[in-house]
Amino acid sequence: MKTSLFLSSVLAWVGAAVCQAAESSPPAPSGVTASYVSIETPAGGRPMLVIRYPWRVHARSSVEVCTYVAGEADDSPRIRPLYFRSDFMKDEFTIGVYRAQDDSSSVRVVAQMARRDIDFAAIGNRNLFGQPSVVVVCRTSITQQKDEQEPEQARRAIYPLLEPWAADRRTLFLSLPEVNFSDAAKIRVWFLSGGDVVWSEVKQWPGLPQDESK
């Protein structure tokens, strides 16, 4: 009963947020870069990335998120997307991602995969809307600077299948997995169409509440 009531309150919040965004988001003035990403807390729950952008108009659309290492400049060339959907999601990777999503209707699923010396985990679980969904997580070493002794790790989340995360054709509610995003961090969010970056933004992720990040 409590779960049902919470889901109802969340869906009501989402509906109000979607309507408000549609009514109060005018086009950006000429010469001003539009912002499509916000960090919000639906119905008093955990922080989420909310993307308000017509994602359905792009073929093979996906979202990638990556943390910055301390002191890294916003425009650092070391912070780049993996292009997971176009470069990695083939053959057994495609099967693993879809299976993790499909099998998560009743239980959380984790599928381990590896390629190019990167260990991936496809995590399937019910999302904010109660829909089976999948997010792929990994950590990648960033090219060392001359004065560094150890490789630095960028923590990543990849959303190769966006449909289950959508409130409508223009709004996505993405849960960042606690395995990589329990702590506060500067992050870059990329929206991709196949192997092309459509846009990207830098945000400050607040981290997850202590009792939710265990």
Residue-level pLDDT, tens digit, the chain, 214 residues? 544 444 444 554 455 555 454 444 444 444 447 899 999 998 778 999 999 999 999 999 999 999 998 888 999 988 999 999 999 999 999 999 999 999 999 999 999 999 999 999 999 999 999 999 999 999 998 765 555 566 688 999 999 999 999 999 999 999 999 999 999 999 999 999 999 999 999 999 999 987 644 4
Q: Is residue 186 part of a domain?
A: yes
Which residue, 72, 14, 48, is CA-closest to 212? 48
Q: Is residue 170 part of a domain?
A: yes
Mean per-residue pLDDT of the chain: 86
State residue 131 phi and psi, 5-degree precision: -95, 140
Which residue, 198, 213, 179, 163, is CA-closest to 34? 198
CA separation (Å) from 172 to 14, 37, 57, 101, 195?
10, 10, 14, 17, 20
Which domain, by its residues, includes 172? 2-23+37-212
Q: Is residue 155 part of a domain?
A: yes
Task: Please state, as a whole number, how many other Cβ atoms lie within 10 Å of the Cβ of residue 58.
Answer: 16
pLDDT digits (tens, 9 = 90+) for 51-66: 999 999 999 999 999 9
Q: Is residue 169 part of a domain?
A: yes
Q: Is residue 8 part of a domain?
A: yes
Q: Is residue 189 part of a domain?
A: yes
Q: Is residue 50 part of a domain?
A: yes
What percentage of the chain has pLDDT greater than the value 90?
70
Number of structural domains the chain divides into: 1
pLDDT digits (tens, 9 = 90+) for 135-179: 999 999 876 555 556 668 899 999 999 999 999 999 999 999 999
Q: Is residue 29 part of a domain?
A: no
